[in-house]
Amino acid sequence: MIIPRDPPFDKYVDHRAMAFSQTNPFGYDEEADMSAGWGAPATQPTLSNDTLKNTMKKEAVIKDIVAAQEDLRTLLGRVQTVQAEVDKLSSGNAMLQMYIDNLTKQIAKR
């Protein structure tokens, strides 16, 4: 949105209107268009400094939350990888324990 720094001209001189004193045959009123000025639309609410600060704080908190969620996803992936390794090692240990038990039984029979 563009907001002019200077106030609108109060003393607008339309040289074309002065040269031709006829009305516009197309029904377009340039003077009414120019008298509206450059101000912001009346329907648009203005934000106070507190509202702006709160909005900026909320955006910062949302960014922090999104970053924390990404970190949690990374950690969850690592936990799942480590859990898979633990399960594999546990099954290997169970197989080795059965092998040791079988060897112990065979030695005991001799």
Show pLDDT as tens, one digit a residue, over the chain (110 residues).
555 565 555 555 555 555 555 555 555 555 555 555 566 565 655 668 889 999 999 999 999 999 999 999 999 999 999 999 999 999 999 999 999 999 999 999 88
Please identify which residue in the block is written with the tokens 């648009």: 44
H-only helix segments in 9-48: 15-19, 30-35
pLDDT value at position 89?
A: 96
Residue 19 CA: distances (Å) to CA of 1, 31, 38: 35, 15, 26
Alpha-carbon distance of 104 to 107, in angstroms, equals 5
pTM over 0.75: no
* Number of Cβ atoms within 10 Å of the Cβ of 17: 13
